Structure 1
Amino acid sequence: MTFSSIHITGIGGYLPERIMSNAELENLVDTTDDWIRERTGIQQRHIIGADQMTSDMAVEAAGIALADAGITIDDIDALIVATTTPDLIFPSTATVVQSKLGGKGFPAWDIQAVCSGFVYGLAQAEGMMRGGMFKRVLLIGAEAMSRIVDWKDRGTCILFGDGAGAVVLEAGAPDAENGMIGSVLHADGSYRDLLKAHHPHPPSSPELHHEMHHEAADFSIDSAGAAAVEMKGNEVFRVAVTKLGDVVKEILAKHELNGSDIDWLVPHQANIRIIQATAKKLKMDLDRVALTVSKHGNTSSASVPLALNDLYVNGRLEKGQLILLEAFAGGFAWGANLVRWSK
């Protein structure tokens, strides 16, 4: 059996209770609220609790999405978690989430494409569902980025926040005119040194001879682990603007659409200037762009579903609207999805 239509039938988001303002960051590193706002558009970010893990945030978002779809975990055929900050090296965070939700038996796995993880996951799920492998898939983007930033590096610690977003995808639902339209994905590993989180002793390195632990610790500027985000900001910005512009043109051309056909742009929330540049290439006003970067910061793979959820919970999505999701990530990896809203 194959399915001709794939729909988002449930959506949910979760943000940790703790909010870190730019003013608080002024006490940690040499920066100012004005500088952060001007360069990134970020005003605040949410920080995971000391007793929480990535899987805990994923479970919260997933529970909301399942309830929104009117189903339970027992109705799910597969579970995918997009994350760069897993609970453990193995097993996958998806299996942890599955267990915490009370699910058993169905396949569960992680996908790692950093900030593009949700976009990659959506493309992967759509392809598998169209082929008839699954009817209902729970897709989650969840990140505890605060656990891997260097809180003494003012160039990166100001950017990231924590959170989770989730969607339920259902194949073969009525309303075949709407739903998933298609995706475009790319990667180029030659750029990997421009944006990375490098561990001095990665799991596959011969230098790693000590026992590795992953423990939730009280947050402080010293709480970052050995893996810390490193970024060459100016170079990343230039490539991101170019690649996102290209992938937007590619996916529109592939489906014989124009920028004027897009009702909502749901971009990765990395930097307001990158978002503005992409919207300009599409000739879109910012009032047609989902914007959460000021409130959330960069939540990596959780960014796109959280931005989509923000539109949804505020009643801004209407049935039949055309939505373009796009993201750019370390690797570099980038991609876009087209969805005609059907809820």
Structure 2
Amino acid sequence: MNIKIIGTGSYIPEQNISNFDFINHAFLNEDGSPFGYPNEVVIKKFKGITGIENRRYAESNQMTSDLAFLAAEKAIANANIDKETLDYIIFAHNFGDVKSGTIQSDMIPSLATRVKNKLNIKNPKCVAYDILFGCPGWIEGVLQANAFIKSGMAKRVLVIGAETLSRVVDDHDRDSMIYSDGAGASVLEASNDESGLLSYESATFATDEANFLFFGKSYNNDLDQDVKYIKMYGRKIYEFALSNVPCAMKACLDKSGIAIEDVKKILIHQANEKMDEAIIERFYKLYDQAVPKDIMPMSIHDLGNSSVATVPTLYDLLLQGKIENHEINKGDVVIFASVGAGMNINAFVYRN
């Protein structure tokens, strides 16, 4: 028995923020000193490395659980199921609900419970809980859904990935331009045919790598140093990802028994265009093959990095035919993969 995705949905906030909206930001070095060159140069370098031109921010009256509800509602409708038949709601995020203009995270009750409430699901046996697993959280939620369904603990599971990273960034850190807001959701159930999840890999590297992403003070020394923002050691993450993600993907694919030539698409966490391209190139190099054309659809150019939302959103957009020059058809083999805070890595091979 496999498990398969029977419905998808995503919510992309309407507020579009272009790179040039950062033209007047006072970007600083870690020690608080100015760069010494204009923001036009910062933006040009940023675009060349990350591929990001635009990103989406939630409206001021929206929080992470609101975006998640909108994506979940679409996924349930797309699956054409009775919402009361859901056995679990698994919600992957990192920072909870953070109201616009505040610095405090709110996770009581859990965001999964809030979504269940917004969906007006009455069934008390629909268990709702959150997971914190960095950017790979949605994929990890799918792996947990797989375990629940295969063990007989559940028949249907709703897995959500949502985040409002725009609320937890340091405006004086140029890395703030990477992050965005969004939500993606999927409904999963048992598959009686050859479709579904075929194999998976998951790992946490928590020695030297544990704090590559962390909460740290603003680069502006005049601001309250006790207020923390999302920070990262970008070069270390890049090197870590290139060393470990391709190997995890290969282990996963080899376990599935699927030949590399039969993989139609690779949906990788939309973290950084250059890093994602390097990961895919190294992955194919492990098989002594060149990267096929159009193997890796991307959404980061216009949507930015919305953490746990990037992979389920990308998959939903592909199924809707909204990613130019890319499509997924019945029977296609797809690799899903992600890397993020923890440092966590996971992947699964899936037959559509």
Q: TM-score range by the shorter chain?
A: 0.7 to 0.9
TM-score normalised by the chain length of structure 1: 0.87
Amino acid at match of 1:138: L
Whether 2:53 is the aligned partner of 1:46: answer no
Write the distance in 2 (CA, Å) between the matches of 1:286 and 1:47: 31
**Does the 8 Å CA contact 1:269/1:293 hold for their aligned counterparts?**
yes
Write the distance in 2 (CA, Å) between the matches of 1:25 and 1:51: 22
Whether 2:94 is the aligned partner of 1:79: answer no
Question: 1:34 maps to which residue?
Answer: 44
Q: Residue 192 of structure 1: which of 210, 215, 223 is its match? A: 210
Whether 2:12 is the aligned partner of 1:15: answer yes
Gap regions ≥5 residues in structure 1: 201-221
Question: 1:203 maps to which residue?
Answer: none
Amino acid at match of 2:215: A
Deviation at 1:177, TM superposition (A): 0.9
Q: Residue 319 of structure 1: which of 318, 330, 334 is its match? A: 330
Question: 1:119 maps to which residue?
Answer: 139
Question: 1:138 maps to which residue?
Answer: 158
Deviation at 1:325, TM superposition (A): 0.3
Whether 2:348 is the aligned partner of 1:328: answer no
C-alpha RMSD of matched pairs (Å):
2.0
- 2:245 match: secondary structure: helix
- 2:311 match: secondary structure: helix
Q: Residue 288 of structure 1: which of 284, 295, 299 is its match? A: 295
Amino acid at match of 1:257: I
Q: Residue 184 of structure 2: which of 158, 161, 165 is its match? A: 165
**Does the 8 Å CA contact 1:138/1:169 hold for their aligned counterparts?**
yes
CA 1:304–1:286 in structure 2 vs 1: closer, same or farther (change >3 Å)? farther
CA 1:29–1:321 in structure 2 vs 1: closer, same or farther (change >3 Å)? farther
Greater CA drift, 41-50 or 258-267: 258-267
Task: Count residues with an aligned counterpart.
Answer: 314
Deviation at 1:198, TM superposition (A): 4.6
Question: 2:234 maps to which residue?
Answer: 233
**Does the 8 Å CA contact 1:144/1:162 hold for their aligned counterparts?**
yes
Question: 1:178 maps to which residue?
Answer: 195
**Does the 8 Å CA contact 1:290/1:308 hold for their aligned counterparts?**
no
Equivalences for residues 52-131 of structure 1 within 5 A? 52-87=62-97, 88-104=106-122, 105=124, 106-131=126-151
Write the distance in 2 (CA, Å) between the matches of 1:198 and 1:133: 40
CA 1:286–1:193 in structure 2 vs 1: closer, same or farther (change >3 Å)? farther
Q: Deviations over 1:162-182 (max 9, x none)?
A: 0000001012x44x1111112
Question: 2:278 maps to which residue?
Answer: 277
Gap regions ≥5 residues in structure 2: 28-38, 98-105, 285-289
Percent of aligned pairs sharing the same letter: 32
**Does the 8 Å CA contact 1:266/1:324 hold for their aligned counterparts?**
yes
TM-score normalised by the chain length of structure 2: 0.85
Deviation at 1:255, TM superposition (A): 1.9
Write the distance in 1 (CA, Å) between the matches of 2:214 and 2:82: 37
Q: Deviations over 1:105-164 (max 9, x none)?
A: 11000011110101111111101111111111110000011111111111x201100000
Deviation at 1:74, TM superposition (A): 1.4
Question: 1:6 maps to which residue?
Answer: 3
Question: 2:260 maps to which residue?
Answer: 259
**Does the 8 Å CA contact 2:256/2:349 hold for their aligned counterparts?**
no
**Does the 8 Å CA contact 1:276/1:286 hold for their aligned counterparts?**
no
**Does the 8 Å CA contact 2:241/2:279 hold for their aligned counterparts?**
no
Amino acid at match of 1:93: L
Write the distance in 1 (CA, Å) between the matches of 2:217 and 2:346: 26
- 1:257 match: secondary structure: coil
